[in-house]
Amino acid sequence: MQAMVVDLRIRPVDTKELVRVYRSEVVPMAREQRGFKGAWLLTDPDTGVGISITLWDTDMHAEIEGFYDEKIEKFARLLTETPVRKHYDLNVMV
């Protein structure tokens, strides 16, 4: 399995809106993607730092890339910096 981790920066005042958009638009869109296994959004409302983690079947790299572009468009207006995206292999999950 692969994890796509995206570091996000927003204004702290926009944290609730980021959560709303992620929950109401990004997650439903993710559930429609082949190979999607789960999503988490971590936020710090004091600093505006957020981390999006999505899990995918390991052979789904092309689908992950396409999903990322669509996902970022959903909340691009809230971002204060360019998101940093990384891919990881998921080795242990409990």
Domain ranges of the chain: 2-89
Is the whole model's pTM more than 0.85, yes or no? Answer: yes
SS3 74: helix
For the chain, where are the E strands, in sequence order? 2-9, 36-44, 49-56, 84-89
CATH class held by domain 2-89: alpha beta
Please name the residue that has the structure tokens 């080795």: 91
Walking along the chain (94 residues) 10 residues at a time, the average pLDDT comes out as 93 96 92 90 97 85 72 86 92 91
The predicted pLDDT at position 14 comes to 96
Residue entry with tokens 């959004």: 41
